[in-house]
Structure 1
Amino acid sequence: MHTFLAKDAASNCWSTGDVVNSVHCVTTEDGQHSCQTSVTRVVELYQCEKVDQQVPYSLVCDHRHDCQDSSDENFCVFPACSLTEFECDNKQCVDRKSECDYKPDCVDHTDELCFLYDQRFRKSNPSPKVVQFVKGGVRYDNIEDPALCLEIGTHFPCAGRGFCLPVFLRCNGVYDCPGKEDEADCRSYTCPGFYRCRGSTVCLHSSHLCDDISQCPQNDDESFCNLTCPMNCTCQGLSYLCTQPFSAHLHHAVRYLDARDSGMKLTALRSNNLLVHLSLVRCGLTDLGNVTLPNLQMFDLSFNQLNRITEMELRSLSNLKVLILTRNPLKFLFKSDDLVFEPHQNLRHLDLSQVFFEQLDVSRFGFAPNLRILNLSQSGIRHFSATGFQSLKKLFLLDLRGCPLTTFPLDLFAGLEELDAIHTDNYRVCCPSVLPQYFDLDRCTSPSPLVSTCADLIGSRSQHVILCLITIILFLSNTASFVIRVFIRRNSQHGPGEVLLTHLTAADFLMALHMGVVLVANAAYRGRYVFSDQQWRHSAACSVSGFLATLSSVVSTTVLCLLSSLCVWTLCETRCLHQHGAVLTHAVCVAVWVAGALLACLPLLYVTSLTGGFSNTALCRPFPETDSHTPSPLYAVLELFSLVASLVLAVGIAIVNFRDRNDHTFTSSDRQSATEQSQRPGYEQFRRQVGKLLVFSCLCRFLVGVFALSPLWDLASAREMRLSVSLVVLPLWSALNPALHWLGLARERARLKKHERLMKRLLAQGKN
């Protein structure tokens, strides 16, 4: 027998040196029996519906209640009995000739209710006799001494000169011996070397197994006696694991079939009406073929080529509870060919993960009103119909991970009183105004956004204060710098450096405009942002704001690289730059502005496969909104550009500092005169003025670039880095650029004045 039917694991084996029912037994040198089972559990078990109990699939729909709640038999649909068969009360069909033959063929013994225990055989056959149960009745064999019963091996004697009764009548709950000793000490009764009937204390000798007569209370001594396992399959009772197609019509009793990757077709299972679990994963199926499997409860069709599932096809699977359709190219989902379709009352679990639906009409699931678990993960759904999930009143768990959900009704879950858990990538789905009133917010799992909340565009008060301060500094510093350079110093002679700084100020001023638009939107949507999220993200104001932020980042980064290159170039060439550099620099800056504007316009073209758009985040920048969002290609380009720019700045700063140090050493050793010192080009002063600005910009650009690569390194602090870059680093960098330049200019002027005083003192000492 199979290991899942074995109950007496500590018993010895039969005294045969052969393989008996998958148990290999040998006799050792000291006369002891050593046995070793060759069968292990290779398939999963059937989960009872209302109790925490599992039973083998081989025992499901076997006309016997193995689950305590009887759920393994209550749903079963059996074929009707023919005219030559007797129908038991449990819907089992047996040969009509076996009715009332003293041998119970029905599991519930209803074919023998016509007989009560007949004593006349015993009266006409006084003891001692050997009682033999055979087909058609009971046979009594003569025996001279009841002690010989023990030598037979299959019987035991009643007290005195009583009958020799078969061992399977010992501890079977019925008094068979006149003195009732056959039911004594049953708690301590063991049967070494015998088969212990399942769920009882009844024991069988090996000669009584598979003899076409049921002696065990649950008839398990006659179960699985003449089964054969198909080639390329691993079998355990009525559970098959197959790697190649086989003639399923020859195995009509199979209950569990896992034929994944086998190429098995559903049409080959037309005669397997008792199937309860079926897996046809990666079998190349293109249609279901209207196969009727009335007992099927679990159906796995993952990774096939199904492009449609109709309600008519599901109607033939009336007991189906779990349907898995992962990774199928479904175009027509539950489309009914009839105007009125019959609801599927038993379907509880539907898995449509990785089945792409850009827009889903949930009313299609109305055919399964008792659906409890719905998995739509990685299906790419962006829009839900206006009715939401109102047709699924019994829904308990919903998985929406991997679905962008840009548009959905605010009453998405209206009327779902049993909803217990939601998994999603969109934090707005977990807002209290969207969820049912009774719902526990902790049971809705979603990655929290970097900035926004259900109520406000900028949810944190501290974040709001920081952004306000940075925006004020942005406006004041860049406005003052731009006015001074363009209007107050317009008559001063401007070289290439001053031109670049003017363009840098203009680019940073665009970042101030962007921050101002975001703060105005935050004030406009305060307290009701979840209702206006999509309105804001797809508005013209958000698009313009994102355009300004992208343009500012690109132009300012490029201008800083030009500043660094200018500082390096002026170490060798100064006269040409001083005479013609301003015009050339203006031309280069105009080209930079044009290129930046073209790059910033890409998201406005809605080429989402290239850019992702400005509507991905509430800040209207091409940043990933949460840790789970994949950065857009434009975001990756911008941040990697920042990393390259930081390297360019670092190289320029290193070259300038190294050259200036050599020049300082040379002039100090030769003690050049004040006249020679005063004739050094003015670009040396300019390099000192922008030195701090370039160093600070290099650090910021490096931080931004490293942050872009943080997902590749799976950094635990990636979220904090994203938040700091989105909210603080870029705006603060634009706000401090003017201040750093003016600070460098002030320090350079102070250094020059100090140097002039020193020269005057040296000249005075020389005259004396």
Structure 2
Amino acid sequence: MWHSNAFKMDYWWCLQSVIACPLPIPMIYAILLVVAAVVVEGVTGTTKETTISAIGTADIPVERQQDAEAAVREVISPPLGVSVGLVDSLILVPDENDKCPQGYFHCNSSAQCVPQRANCDGSVDCDDKSDELNCDNEVDAKYWDHLFRKNTFGAGDDKKLGDCLWQNENFSCPCRGDQILCRFQQLTELPTRLPQYDLATLDLTGSNFENINETFFEGLPEVKSLVLKFCGIREIASHAFDRLADNPLRTLYMDDNKLQHLPEHFFPEGNQLRILILARNRLHSLNRSDFHNLQQLEELDLRGNRIGSFEAAVFAELISLEFLYLNENQVKRLDAEMFPRTLLRLHTLSLDRNQIEDIDANTFHFPCLRHLYLAGNRLSHIRDETFCNLSNLQGLHLNENRIEGFGLEAFACLGNLTSLLLTGNRFQTLDPRVLQNLSSLDYIYFSWFHLCSAALHVRVCDPHGDGISSKLHLLDNQILRGSVWVMASIAVVGNLLVLLGRYFYKSRSNVEHSLYLRHLAASDFLMGIYLTLIACADINFRGEYIKYEEAWRHSGVCAFAGFLSTFSCQSSTLLLTLVTWDRLMSVTRPLKPRDTEKFRIVLRLLLLWGISFGLAAAPLLTNPYFGSHFYGNNGVCLSLHIHDPYAKGWEYSALLFIFVNTLSLVFILFSYVRMLQAIRDSGGGMRSTHSGRENVVATRFAIIVTTDCACWLPIIVVKVAALSGCNISPDLYAWLAVLVLPVNSALNPVLYTLTTAAFKQQLRRYCHTLPSCSLLNNETRSQTQTAYESGLSVSLAHLGGGVGGGGGSGRKRLSHRQMSYL
């Protein structure tokens, strides 16, 4: 066996050979040498050896590395007696103590253990079907149900307007049940002739109450719910609500107004207010006296204001408070001085979509808190024991932050936590010890499915995959696996035939064009190698992918595969553009002498390969712009980045797949239209005779343009859509990456070589040397040209006559030229 160091020494030599060598045999040798090095040294060994060090231990101090590695080994080790490759695909039997191995969960009434990924996956695995029960997160559902509950003034929606509790009364506003609805009537004062008893709701939405003075509510009847939404309220005078001291008012809606501050004496003593809604006003600060005399208040909604900070005394008197909504404000920091210790009944606190960058220890002192929502902030790190004193917390939302890491004791003291949402953050590794204290956790949500390896004790971990990969397989879809092998085989075999064919059967005419196509085949051959690498990695990790997913994406093998993919894509795109330009010049200027100086031709190719190599190699450099593992952003090591369009280096990705591809596609489309127009214009006088043959040429051109569009256009559209914020289906992304992206590499050999007249002639000559082909030779000897070849020859010859005045040498040059490039 060759020593691995020998392979490493040859890497750069091989790549240089691919760029500079115009002959295919050394090029093929260089590519195969690199592939052998990668497969032997990387795929079968390096990835698995680095698994332990790659999962969640990057930022742990040196003295704690051994403990971290032990914890990771415990998490990823398979059950005794079970093959590693079958760990996640088996349903096991509990041990003698009726316990399941780590990562497996007991069915309710059957002696079975199912893996984590089998829970709530839509497929029944337990005999009692218990693996598909309790899949709805009831903890989060209760929060959302309360937040978006029907308002009290909507309780009578099932009754007709005019179906009034008080009969034989003529009120100034419509009546429905026990509600008076004075909506959007532009009132400037309370309406008259209102019922004075049994009134559940007085809805004054859309009135014009810019200033509420001390006498405003003097005529207010006894009512349980008062709605003052969209009333344009700017000022409320002190003691304006004193009338509420003798009123059974329970709910007050004052959301969507223009309040900038609250009055000193907002509510009188003795009020019975339970719910106060002040959402979407313009409050920028809160004073100590704002919520005096609200000892019975149970819900306070301050969403959508401009509050930047507050002190503990603001909420100190709200001893009955259960729901506090402070989301969509401008709070930047949470410290121990902001919340009082008197909120002993608080069980829901929402601080979503503020600007919180840090949370001090001992900030929260809410022994009854059930739901804490900190989503949509700017948190970058969760320090140890941040959530202590929240021993009864059940639901914690930390999604859509900028979290890059957690202290090992970040979730200490949360033994009752059942739901944890961590999606939309920056961390891509997680030490299993961070979650080990969460013994009651039933639901956990990540952006990346591979993080579930740190939460194998959690019954439901989402997502199960990313469209391409799953917890079991690098390529999850069986059709996808087969498609990779098919595309890889076509790309490798087809382009290898082109390289060998054009090497052994050198064209004497239009050497420049033949050389371009040879390099195009070499470029597309690289895509076949990339697909083969991915297919081999899929086989290598089959059934246990999640255990090696992180190590695989961060390995040098994945980086090399990503480099090959980008290198092939960009060089193929530029070479197709160059080939199209060469054809355009040949068709539109057939009699113009061509530049056949070999130095300039090689210089063009070297420049093209150099640009492609530089673009593909840039993410491999140590540059914070690309991050540490640019190609490892996904399991197939592509730089397309559809699922995370604004990841590090997104401008680079957009440049390659949108800007370059769009320019090339537009140029190719224009060029083939121009070529077809030139051919048809040159044969105007013979249109009736040769129109059918020219249609054959047009059809061939259309096929070439269509394949280019089929490859590039979907990628351009989906990439733009992803950058625009559209939600791209993971399944679409999978097929785009595996089937659409390499389609040109598979079809280019067919379109540019294997179906051309020159290749057919070479095939006939080779067949002529075989005795078994004698009958075929006798049949084909009488056929000098196919319909396409005849039509194209006449069309181009006539074009030459039209342009050059009918010179015989021009037609001869044309006939030689067309055989080599079409």
TM-score range, shorter chain: 0.5 to 0.7
Over 3 Å counting, the alpha-carbon distance change for 1:270 and 1:614 in structure 2 is same
Q: Deviation digits for residues 627-683 of structure 1, max 9, x if unmatched?
A: 998893334333323344233222222222232234455468999xxxxxxxxxxxx
1:335 aligned partner: 361
The alpha-carbon distance between structure 1 residues 22 and 532, as it changes in their structure 2 partners (threshold 3 A), is closer
Tell me which residue corresponds to 2:54. Answer: none
Paired amino acid for 1:329: Q
Q: Distance in 1 between matches of 2:282 and 2:724?
A: 36
- Give the Cα–Cα distance (whole angstroms) in 2 for the partners of residues 721 and 555 of structure 1: 25
SS in 1 for 2:367: coil
Q: Find the aligned partners of 1:502 and 1:16 in 2 and give their Cα distance.
A: 90
Q: Deviations over 1:343-398 (max 9, x none)?
A: 63122211101112233346311221111121222113343444574532212333
**1:378 partnered with 2:403:** no
Any idea what the Cα deviations from partners look like across 1:144-179, whole Å, max 9, x if unmatched? Answer: xxxxxxxxxxxxxxxxxxxxxxxxxxxxxxxxxxxx
Task: Name the SS for the 1:705 alignment partner.
Answer: helix
Q: Structure 1 residues 423, 712: closer, same or farther in 2, change over 3 A?
A: same
**Distance of 2:372 and 2:585 partners within structure 1:** 67
Higher mean C-alpha deviation, range 686-695 or range 349-358? 686-695
Q: Match of 1:436?
A: 457
Q: 1:269 aligns with which of 276, 287, 290?
A: 290
Counterpart for residue 484 of structure 2: 467
Tell me the distance in 1 between the aligned counterparts of 2:743 and 2:380.
39
Question: Is 1:725 paired with 2:736?
Answer: yes
> Could you report, residue by residue, the CA deviation over 1:84-139 in whole angstroms, capped at 9, with x for unpaired residues?
xxxxxxxxxxxxxxxxxxxxxxxxxxxxxxxxxxxxxxxxxxxxxxxxxxxxxxxx
Q: Does the 8 Å CA contact 2:377/2:401 hold for their aligned counterparts? A: yes
- In structure 2, relative to structure 1, the CA distance for the partners of 1:197 and 1:754 (3 Å cut) is closer
Contact 2:498 2:754 in 1 (8 A): no
Taking the aligned partners of 2:223 and 2:740, their CA distance within structure 1 comes to 76
Distance 1:272 1:491 in 2: 96
* Aligned residue in 1 for 2:754: 743
* Contact kept in structure 2, 1:347 and 1:371, CA below 8 Å: yes
**Distance of 2:667 and 2:153 partners within structure 1:** 72
608, 616, 619: which one aligns with 1:600: 616
1:623 equivalenced with 2:640 (yes/no): yes
Q: Structure 1 CA distance, aligned partners of 2:730 and 2:379? A: 30
The code of the aligned residue for 1:229 comes to: F
Counterpart of 1:634?
652
User: Structure 1: how far apart are the matches of 2:639 and 2:465?
Assistant: 18
Contact 1:361-1:384 at 8 Å conserved across structures: yes
- After superposition, give the CA deviation of every residue in 1:46-79 in whole Å (9 maximum; x if it has no partner): xxxxxxxxxxxxxxxxxxxxxxxxxxxxxxxxxx
Which residue, out of 224, 229, 233, partners 2:241? 229
2:672 paired residue number: 653
Structure 1 residues 662 and 555, CA gap change in structure 2 (3 angstroms): same
- Give yes or no for contact 2:411–2:435 (8 Å, CA) kept in 1: yes
AA of the residue aligned to 1:269:
D
| Residues 694/582 of structure 1: CA separation in 2 closer, same or farther (3 Å cut) | farther
Q: What is the rounded CA distance, in whole Å, between the counterparts of 2:625 and 2:277 in structure 1?
A: 39
Deviation, 1:406, is: 0.7
In terms of mean alpha carbon deviation, does 34-43 or 449-458 score higher?
34-43
Q: Write out per-residue CA displacement over residues 412-466 of structure 1, whole angstroms, 9 at most, x where no aligned residue.
A: 64454544444443233557x73436x2x4xx55484121110221223332222
In structure 2, do the counterparts of structure 1 residues 270 and 11 end up closer, same or farther at CA, with 3 Å as the change threshold? closer
| CA–CA distance in structure 1, aligned partners of residues 242 and 222 of structure 2 | 29
Corresponding residue SS for 2:756: helix
Structure 1 counterpart of 2:566, from 543, 550, 559: 550
**Distance change (3 Å), C-alpha of 1:14 and 1:588:** closer
Cα distance 1:651–1:714, how it changes in 2: closer, same or farther (>3 A)? same
| Shift in CA distance, 36/670, structure 1 to aligned 2, threshold 3 Å | closer
User: Structure 1 residues 552 and 236 mapped into 2: Cα distance closer, same or farther (>3 Å)?
Assistant: farther
How many Å apart are 1:35 and its aligned residue? Answer: 5.9
Secondary structure of 2:421 counterpart? strand
Tell whether the 8 Å contact from 2:472 to 2:546 is kept in structure 1 after alignment. Answer: yes
Q: Which moved more, 1:347-356 or 1:637-646?
A: 637-646
Query: Kindly, what percent of the aligned residue pairs are identical?
Result: 19
Q: 1:589 to 1:746 in 2, by over 3 A?
A: same
Task: Specify the SS of the correspondent of 1:450.
Answer: coil
| CA gap 1:691/1:356 in 2 versus in 1, 3 angstroms | same
Give the residue type in structure 1 aligned to 2:751: L
* Equivalent pair of 2:642/2:728 in contact (CA under 8 Å): no
What secondary structure, in the 3-state scheme, does the structure 2 residue paired with 1:267 have?
Answer: coil
Q: 1:600 to 1:272 in 2, by over 3 A?
A: farther
Q: In structure 1, how many angstroms separate the alpha carbons of the residues matched to 2:757 and 2:507?
A: 20
Matched, 1:348 2:370: yes
Q: Secondary structure of 1:501's match?
A: helix
Q: For the Cα contact (< 8 Å) 1:511–1:549, is it kept in 2?
A: yes
| Structure 1 residues without counterparts, runs of 5 or longer | 25-33, 44-194, 199-225, 672-684, 760-768
SS at match of 2:575: helix
SS in 2 for 1:470: helix
- 1:510 matched to 2:671? The reply is no
Aligned CA distance change for structure 1 residues 719 and 289 (closer, same or farther; 3 Å):
closer
1:703 deviation in Å?
Answer: 3.6
**Which structure has the larger Rg over C-alpha atoms?**
1
Conserved 8 A contact 1:299-1:322:
yes
2:308 aligned partner, one-letter code: L
Distance 1:350 1:577, change over 3 A: farther
- Which AA in structure 1 matches 2:745? S
Q: C-alpha deviations, 1:187-227, integer Å up to 9, x for none?
A: xxxxxxxx9999xxxxxxxxxxxxxxxxxxxxxxxxxxx98
Bigger RCO of structures 1 and 2 (CA < 8 A, at least 6 apart): 2
Amino acid at match of 1:373: G
**Residue in 2 that maps onto 1:310:** 335
Equivalent residues of 1:392, 1:416 under 8 A apart: yes
SS in 1 for 2:300: strand
Q: Distance in 2 between matches of 1:3 and 1:718?
A: 40
CA distance in 2, matches of 1:558, 1:603: 20
Equivalent residues, number: 543
Q: State the 1:36 CA deviation.
A: 4.5
Shift of 1:621: 0.8
Distance 1:197 1:272 in 2: 19
Q: Which residue of 2 aligns with 1:204?
A: none
Which letter does structure 1 place at the counterpart of 2:284? G
Q: Equivalents in 2 of 1:753, 1:565: separation in Å? A: 35
More helix, by proportion: 2
1:380 aligns to what SS in structure 2?
Answer: coil
TM-score normalised according to structure 2 size: 0.56
Query: What is the deviation of 1:400?
Result: 2.7
2:474 to 442, 446, 457: 457
Q: Give the match's secondary structure for 1:283.
A: coil
Q: Is the Cα–Cα contact under 8 Å of residues 692 and 744 in structure 1 kept in the other structure?
A: no
Question: Which of 485, 496, 499 matches 2:515?
Answer: 499
Is residue 713 of structure 2 the alignment partner of residue 702 of structure 1? yes
| Letter in structure 2 aligned against 1:299 | L
The residue type equivalent to 2:349 in the other structure is L
Q: 2:557 aligns with which of 513, 532, 541?
A: 541
- SS of the aligned residue for 1:726 comes to helix
**Aligned residue among 406, 409, 415 for 2:428:** 406
- Paired residue for 1:170? none
Distance 1:458 1:582, change over 3 A: same
Equivalent residue, structure 2, for 1:71: none
**C-alpha deviations, 1:526-552, integer Å up to 9, x for none?**
333222222222222222221221121
Please state how far the C-alpha of 1:626 moved relative to its aligned partner.
Answer: 4.2
Q: Which whole-Å CA distance do the structure 2 matches of 1:698 and 1:372 have between them?
A: 52
**What CA distance in whole angstroms lies between the structure 2 residues aligned with 1:691 and 1:543?**
36
Structure 1 position 229, deviation (Å): 1.9
Query: Does the C-alpha gap of structure 1 residues 400 and 574 become closer, same or farther in structure 2, counting only changes over 3 Å?
Result: same
Are 2:372 and 2:393, in contact at CA under 8 Å, matched by a contact in 1? Answer: yes
2:544 maps to 528
Kept after mapping to 2: 8 A contact 1:499/1:582: no
Aligned-residue Cα RMSD (Å) equals 4.9
